[in-house]
Chain A
Amino acid sequence: MIEQNEPSPKEENGEHPLKLDEFQGLLDVWKKSKEAGARAVSDFLDELDDALKEVHEQGRQYLIMGTIISTASNLMFPNLMTSDSSFATVAMWLGLNVVGSAVALKIKNKITQEIARYKEEVASGRSFDSTHQYQSEDEV
């Protein structure tokens, strides 16, 4: 699915210096894809793209973050990132040594609830409600 793309006009104009070129290419490919499920992937990638744009906009205010993230994107990820790289890799790089387990537990509970709901639908002979809208204000 990966295609080689020319830099987008935005990137050529330097509007998104933090963006990894390959990610923009991936986003473009999924937006154009007619595959089943492509819309969900495209929406997911769009949301991640928005998160990066927000970081970039805030980078004008947070100069240390702006300095480091440019370095990190050019230096850290090509060397550090593999298919096995993870949040834990980043945490260790940042010197983090205190993380509560409550986060993982809360998310596990939330997902367990969702799985139970789906199982109930299957058991009752109904198909999954693919139009179900999750509330963004739901607590994890």
Chain B
Amino acid sequence: MTDPIKELSNLEHVVLGPLLIATGMSDDEQVIVKKQLLLVIVAQSIQKVEQALSEEEKESLLNELSQLDPQSQLDHLASFISQNEISQQLLSEYYQKDLPQLLKRLLLKFMNSATDEQKQRFLKASEAV
């Protein structure tokens, strides 16, 4: 049976990793970019879940979150998502449709003005996967 987490890692290795290598950025700079991208991914995925909640559910969840410290807020939301089948489905949809669109958008922007050397680096890194 396919391991979903492993598949998700493959997605990163096939697209994001080669893209970051192709930019020529330092390791430290690449970590900064990954942080920013992960922030967008977390925000978009939570937004996807929130869109499907009723006003009552939103109000209830917000009220619960407001009573928790920051770490507990994260734990509480993760627990909510993991126990909610619709949220699970929406997150799955995000990873299958929305996330590839985001990666494609970033990749195309880079490739449209990349130098030949950058393209070569991308190809070499992609082929190494």
Contact = CB atoms under 8 A, between A and B. Distances in A.
Given A44-B23, A128-B119, A130-B116, A95 B78 contact: yes
Interface string B13-44: 01110010001111111111111111111111
Contact-residue bracket for chain B: 35 or more
A27 B124 CA distance: 25
Contacts of B4: 91, 96-101
Given A55-B44, A63-B58, A96-B4, 20 more contacts: A23-B33, A40-B23, A40-B111, A40-B113, A43-B113, A48-B33, A52-B43, A55-B43, A64-B65, A65-B50, A68-B73, A72-B42, A76-B42, A81-B31, A83-B27, A83-B30, A87-B95, A95-B78, A100-B96, A103-B7
17 contacts: A26-B33, A35-B24, A37-B118, A43-B113, A64-B46, A65-B47, A68-B77, A75-B74, A81-B34, A86-B9, A87-B16, A88-B8, A89-B38, A95-B78, A103-B7, A111-B126, A140-B101
Interface of B: 2, 4-12, 14-16, 19, 23-47, 49-51, 53, 58, 61-62, 65-66, 70-71, 73-74, 77-79, 81-83, 88-89, 91-92, 95-96, 99-106, 108-120, 123, 126-127
Interface of A: 1-2, 18, 20, 22-23, 26, 35-37, 39-41, 43-49, 51-52, 55, 58-59, 62-65, 67-69, 71-77, 81-83, 85-104, 106-108, 111, 114-115, 118, 127-128, 130, 132-134, 136, 138, 140
